[in-house]
């Protein structure tokens, strides 16, 4: 799976994915909504947008989680909205992810990891609330790289100031990328917006705007509520205005996946 440059003749378009349009997986301990075909959910027409292959909106019950499982040749970015998520992998990395802490795992030639909602409070008691997080996958520039892991905390002040780079492999974001991914055509931005706060979308061949909580108005397209997404092609410059306090995740992608 490789990235390819986008034809200059590509027509501008904006497609809205409503929350109810997503695939759903309910395992009791896991409530997951999938923006693209994932797991046993199959679709020939909804496999990716640009370079984004996975945008899973997950809620995991306390004391449960994903047991150790493998990944290969994928850049995986995890963003926690509420609660905490414990990560362990076969490279010896361990950590507790929480809101504002960005994590990247490069699966490369192969890695095993687990993700569980089994962290403990400061008072020594286990957390009793679900963890809510978004997990996103893009392919690396090339397969067979060394596996890797990186995490870094972003300040609430920066996230509330406007679009903030969470993860990027693009040269132009090299100095301000919170964490690096092995894809030179992709950047993940995030923002926490107050009511009436406005951000402007960058110009790019592919944009994926996801609203994990709150609601915003996308200029020319209408209101996007919690769980909604907009897939933009060959466009940019639209204003996004918060209707209520909101958090947004925006992938800026300057290539697509080669057929």
Q: Give the pLDDT of residue 258.
A: 75
Tens of pLDDT, residues 21-33 = 999 999 999 999 9
How many residues can be counted in the chain? 259
Please say if the pLDDT value at position 158 is more than 80: yes
Locate tokens 């909804």: which residue?
46
Reported confidence tier of residue 240, pLDDT bands at 50, 70, 90: very high
Q: How many domains does the chain have?
A: 1
Among 146, 137, 94, residue whose Cα is nearest residue 119: 94
Is residue 32 within 8 A of residue 24, CB to CB? The reply is yes
Is residue 12 within 8 A of residue 207, CB to CB? The reply is no
Q: Give the pLDDT of residue 8.
A: 63
Among 55, 47, 63, 52, residue whose Cα is nearest residue 79: 55
Reported confidence tier of residue 121, pLDDT bands at 50, 70, 90: low
As given in the structure block, the two tokens for residue 45 are 């027409």
Can you give the CATH number for the domain in which 154 is found? 2.60.120.10
Percent of the chain with pLDDT over 70: 93
| Average pLDDT for 129-139 | 96
- Structural domain span for residue 92: 3-257
């Amino acid at each position: 799976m490789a990235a390819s440059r986008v034809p200059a003749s590509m027509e501008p378009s904006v497609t809205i994915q409503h929350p109810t349009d997503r695939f759903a997986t309910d395992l009791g301990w896991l409530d997951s909504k999938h923006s693209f075909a994932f797991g046993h959910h199959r679709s020939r027409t909804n496999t990716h947008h640009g370079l984004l292959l996975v945008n899973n909106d997950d809620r995991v019950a306390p004391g449960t989680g994903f047991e150790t499982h493998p990944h290969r040749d994928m850049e995986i970015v995890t963003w926690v909205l509420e609660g905490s998520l414990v990560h362990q992998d076969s490279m010896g990395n361990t950590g507790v992810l929480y809101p504002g802490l960005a994590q990247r795992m490069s699966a490369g030639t192969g890695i095993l990891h687990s993700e569980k909602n089994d962290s403990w409070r400061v008072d020594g008691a286990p957390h009793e609330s679900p963890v809510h997080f978004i997990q996103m996958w893009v392919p690396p520039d090339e397969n067979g790289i060394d596996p890797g892991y990186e995490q870094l905390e972003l300040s609430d002040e920066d996230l509330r100031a406007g679009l903030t780079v969470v993860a990027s492999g693009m040269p132009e974001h090299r100095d301000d990328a919170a964490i690096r991914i092995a894809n030179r055509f992709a950047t993940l931005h995030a923002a926490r917006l107050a009511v009436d706060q406005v951000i402007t979308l960058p110009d790019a061949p592919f944009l994926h705007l996801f609203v994990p909580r709150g609601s915003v108005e996308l200029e020319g397209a209408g209101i996007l509520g919690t769980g909604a997404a907009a897939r933009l092609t060959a466009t940019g410059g639209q204003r996004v205005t918060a209707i209520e306090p909101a958090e947004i995740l925006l992938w800026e992608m300057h290539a697509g996946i080669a057929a």
